[in-house]
Structure 1
Amino acid sequence: MGATTVIIGGGLAGAKAAEALRDKGYDGTVVLIGAEAHLPYERPPLSKGYLAGSDDRDSVFVHDREWYDDKNVDLRIDVTATRIDREAKAVHLSDGTAVDYDKVVLATGSRPRHFPGDPDVQYLRTLDDSELLRERLGEGKSLLVVGAGWIGLEAAAAARTLGTAVTVVEPEDVPLARVLGAEQGGVIADLHRRHGVDLRLGVGVKAIESGAVTTDDGETLRADPILVGIGAEPEVALAREAGLAVGNGVDVDARLRTSDPDIVAVGDIANHDHPIFGRIRIEHWANALNQPAVAVANLLGGNEAYTRLPYFYTDQYEFGMEYRGHAAGDDELVVRGSVADLEYLAFWLADGVVRAGMNVNIWDQGDDIAALVQSQRIVDPARLADASIPLADV
């Protein structure tokens, strides 16, 4: 019999793994296991354009059904992988069947971190979540968001665009401070306040019940719905139970190989060895998009390292940005351009080396920012801040 590769995970990473297998000439059996009752889809629109109503439903899917048929991909949706038997080389499924494998691509993604207890709240991770939330937004309606992270703030922006009254509660004094730092986090806070968001910073949540949030200072806030966005956790139970090395995610080397040579891991779960940043796990769209091609190449006998810079983007009101690299919010910040006009570049430096760069509403500098981060050379902050000096000459 021919070889079989099983892909576990029905999101973008899983779909791109199937695509890479066929693009690279793999003629064995490809089985793609997806837990949701949908074709594999991309998640960024769920808190951005699709939630706001500017993107249509079909645009979220990676491929249509015909693509999987044409590429001879055995797509099994609405079923989960329950166990990987590495000794027997079989993946057991929730429908009672099992699939024998030669290779496995793990792309199980993340799940939302839940608020303690079982409060009546919404989370925003799946297509169903986005559609349910969208039905509850609009003029005359209210939304309370617990957590001012990327998902919470993007949902808040989409809700305000639809005319919804929005309150956001965040225990930190500045949103996104761990990633962007206090100054750039303050830019985001000001942006939301200008658009009418009641942004409550430095306020924790004690309890959520009966459609109300009780803050740690005793105030009761009511809205319908309540959206909880307090982070995500990698889905690593399957890998751990299979005996794979698991740390902050599934541990993989620079080539995205797990501790089992026949299993690779990609996307949100991949805790990989990056040539610049060391071992990192990044929960962003770009890894799900780009890692599968490298992982598949290595499954098929290649020896490619995954060296792309971490990348993410956001669109909130008139604030559009791209971020490349990996830095801490308290790294040295250098800005060139006009923050007031929301047209600028921001850089985070450690020991004089640019660790990350962000372009805000400037769309022709991305490659130069990436090159600067990848160069790992020491730069002069004054020259970096001077917009008259090309980034290549800093």
Structure 2
Amino acid sequence: MSGIVIIGAGEAGTRAAFALRETGFSGPVTLVGTEPHLPYERPPLSKPLDGVARMKTICSVETLSAAGIDYLPGMSATQIDAARRHVLLGDGRALSYDRLLLATGARPRRLTCPGAERALDFRTFSDADAIFSRVATGGTVAIIGGGLIGMELAAVLRGKGVGVHVIEAALKTLGRAVPPRFAARLQARHDEEGVHFHLGQGLAEIRPDSVVLTDGTLIPADVVVSAIGVVPDMEIADRAGLAVGNGILTDAFLRTSDPHIYAAGDCAAVAQPGGGHMRFESWRNARSQAETAARNMAGAAETFAAIPWFWSDQYDLGLQVAGLPQPGHQSILRSLEQGELEFYLDDGRLVAAAGLGAGNSLAKEIKLAEMLIAAGVSPDPAALADPGVNLKALLKSARAA
């Protein structure tokens, strides 16, 4: 029996392997991972413990063995023979499969300026270990990119007393994923903490002890970190002749253009009800897609329809965003003692919500907002704005209606 092969032992691949067993699938499951470690979660990488990069493993050797999952660490998959349903590994072995899951994730986007090879990435445990082992109190780090990863790293480094410069080509930070109101508040907090911003600037060169901006400004830097985003890792899918775009294209069931091959996580671009494909980069999305793909590979026919959600911790502030806020949405603000919520209506229907407050203080409200979004409600804007109106009561009313 060929069973199921999973390429990629990150969040999506590993969760899919265990989800297969939870569905009752009893055939062989092989998990192929390029890194030499046990599968681990990426979010804790930006939260070192006593200055040392943390590895929070998803599972142990014992749990893999108990589940009957054959884990191949430090192994690359080099080629897919879709006609014969074989995966060729870097050591020359060929694995046969009945179903194949591509959970190859994403890889860092590369800088192209002179000296780009001097910049460190921030994607894997090895990357995090290299950064934190080289950072010393009193040193200076230049972070290229003012997105979520760059800003989270800036917050951690400032907490260690490290000087931080953030260089961003756009005129503001966090512009891609974070609602403008909360992006501005987070940047202001970084300003308060002493982060130096260089906005609307590109890189001319990275030198051994500094970076040079396109306007000629020279910024001393003991360490340079590239955090300019990621691109889906779809090379093996492309070589196999699968349909690709901004990711490995799948239908709503997470099947690729080959019905025996599925994709999930950061590498997958999923068909949307209104047309087109969308790729989501978040920890929870990786888990949700993995579980859906696993059930479908085991024989179900379940469409993927989870609400996008992500969070970010910066200093003592916690940001959560559910759904996909767009500039054209009607915005409703609710001010609370512990922070602020912003709701987004599209033609009267609640489609997204975001919150920024102390720590995890708004988690309950965002969860209730998610449930309201899933219910497809069109709430009274005045009720959303009124902190005296309980979101749980709105949900109960919506379900009753």
Q: Which range, TM-score by smaller chain?
A: over 0.9
Pairwise mapping of residues 256-267 of structure 1 onto structure 2 (< 5 A)? Answer: 256-267=254-265
In the alignment, which residue of structure 2 is the partner of 1:372? 372
Q: Distance in 2 between matches of 1:329 and 1:52?
A: 38
Counterpart for residue 20 of structure 1: 19
User: By how many angstroms is 1:191 displaced?
Assistant: 1.0
Alignment correspondent of 1:115: 111
Alpha-carbon shift at residue 342 of structure 1 (Å): 5.9
Structure 1 Cα separation of the partners of residues 242 and 320 of structure 2:
34
Partner Cα distance (1:230, 1:56) in 2 = 21
Aligned to 2:134: 136
Match of 1:167 in 2: 165
CA distance in structure 1 between the aligned counterparts of 2:159 and 2:328, rounded to whole angstroms: 32
Closer/same/farther in 2, CA of residues 17 and 291 from structure 1, 3 Å limit = same
Matches of 2:387 and 2:367, distance apart in 1: 16
TM-score normalised by length of structure 2? 0.91
CA pair 328-294 structure 1, distance change in 2 beyond 3 A:
same
Q: 1:248 to 1:80 in 2, by over 3 A?
A: same
Please say if residues 5 and 101 of structure 2, whose CA atoms lie closer than 8 Å, have aligned partners that are also in contact.
Answer: yes
Of 245, 248, 258, the match for 2:246? 248
Partner residue, 1:216: 214
Aligned partners of 1:180 and 1:328 also within 8 Å: no
**Separation in 2 of the partners of 1:56 and 1:216?**
32
Q: Aligned-pair distance for 1:290? A: 1.7
Q: In structure 2, the residue corresponding to 1:305 is in which secondary structure? A: coil
Whether the 8 Å CA contact 1:105–1:263 is kept in 2: the answer is yes
> 2:344, 2:202 → 1: CA distance?
28
Within 5 Å, which residues of 2 pair with 1:144-183? 144-183=142-181
Cα distance, 1:347–1:52 mapped onto 2, change above 3 Å: farther
Counterpart CA distance in 1 for 2:106 and 2:120 is 16
Instruction: List alignment gaps of at least 5 residues for structure 2.
Output: 396-401
Decide whether the 8 Å contact of 1:109 with 1:268 is kept in 2: yes
Q: Is the 8 A contact 1:85 1:91 kept in 2?
A: yes
Residue aligning to 1:5 = 4
* Residues 42-61 of structure 1: per-residue CA shift (max 9 Å, x gap): 111112x2x35489845x11
117-126 or 224-233, larger mean C-alpha shift: 117-126
What's 1:35 paired with?
Answer: 34
Q: Which residue of 2 aligns with 1:393?
A: 394
SS in 1 for 2:343: strand
Indicate the larger mover: 270-279 or 297-306: 270-279
- Aligned partners of 1:177 and 1:329 also within 8 Å: no
Distance 1:55 1:130, change over 3 A: closer
In structure 2, the CA distance between the partners of 1:54 and 1:273, relative to structure 1 (3 Å rule), is farther
Q: Shift of the alpha carbon at 1:210? A: 2.8
Alignment partners' CA distance in 2, 1:102 and 1:80: 20
C-alpha distance 203-352 of structure 1, shift in aligned 2 (>3 A) = farther
Q: Name the SS for the 2:104 alignment partner.
A: coil
TM-aligned CA deviation for residue 277 of structure 1: 9.0
| Contiguous gaps of at least 5 residues in structure 1 | none
Q: CA deviation at 1:244?
A: 1.1
8 Å contact kept, 1:181–1:330: no
Alignment partner, residue 325 of structure 1: 323
Deviation at 1:276, TM superposition (A): 7.8
Q: What is the SS of the residue equivalent to 1:108?
A: coil
TM value normalised by structure 1? 0.92
How much does 1:384 deviate?
A: 2.1
Alignment CA distance shift 1:214-1:76 (3 Å): same
What is the aligned-residue RMSD (CA, Å)?
2.1
Distance 1:215 1:181 in 2: 28
Q: How big is the shift at 1:245?
A: 1.2
Q: Which residue of 1 aligns with 2:59?
A: 63
Cα distance between partner residues in 1 of 2:327 and 2:189: 19
CA distance in 1, matches of 2:303, 2:314: 34
Instruction: State the match for 1:362 in structure 2.
Output: 362
Mapped partners of 1:82, 1:342: distance in 2: 50
Partner deviation per Cα, 1:189-225 (whole Å, 9 max, x = no partner): 1011111111222222233233322112210112111
- Taking the aligned partners of 1:160 and 1:92, their CA distance within structure 2 comes to 45
Secondary structure of 2:71's partner?
strand
Q: Any conservation in 2 of the 1:90–1:99 contact (CA below 8 Å)? A: yes
Q: Which residue identity is paired with 2:385?
A: A
Q: Check conservation: 1:138, 1:159, Cα contact below 8 A.
A: no
- Which one is further off, 319-328 or 379-388? 379-388
Moved over 6 A (4+): none
Change (3 A) 1:124 1:30: same
Question: Is this contact kept in 2: 1:24–1:297, CA < 8 A?
Answer: yes
Kindly provide the amino acid, as one letter, of the partner of residue 388 in structure 1: G
Corresponding residue of 1:312: 310
* 1:80 aligns to 2:76 (yes or no): yes
Q: Alignment partner for residue 202 of structure 1, among 200, 203, 225?
A: 200
**Within 2, Cα distance between the matches of 1:5 and 1:242?**
18
Q: Residue 101 in 1 paired to residue 97 in 2?
A: yes
Question: Which segment drifts farther, 195-204 or 145-154?
Answer: 195-204
Structure 1 residues 328-337 or 285-294, which shifts more? Answer: 328-337
Deviation at 1:23, TM superposition (A): 1.4
How many percent identity over aligned positions? 36
The one-character-per-residue Cα deviations of 1:265-298 (angstroms, maximum 9, x if unpaired) are 0000111134589631101111111211211111
Matches within 5 A, 1:232-311: 232-275=230-273, 279-311=277-309
* Preserved contact between residue 147 and residue 175 of structure 2 (Cα < 8 Å): no
Shift of 1:317: 0.5
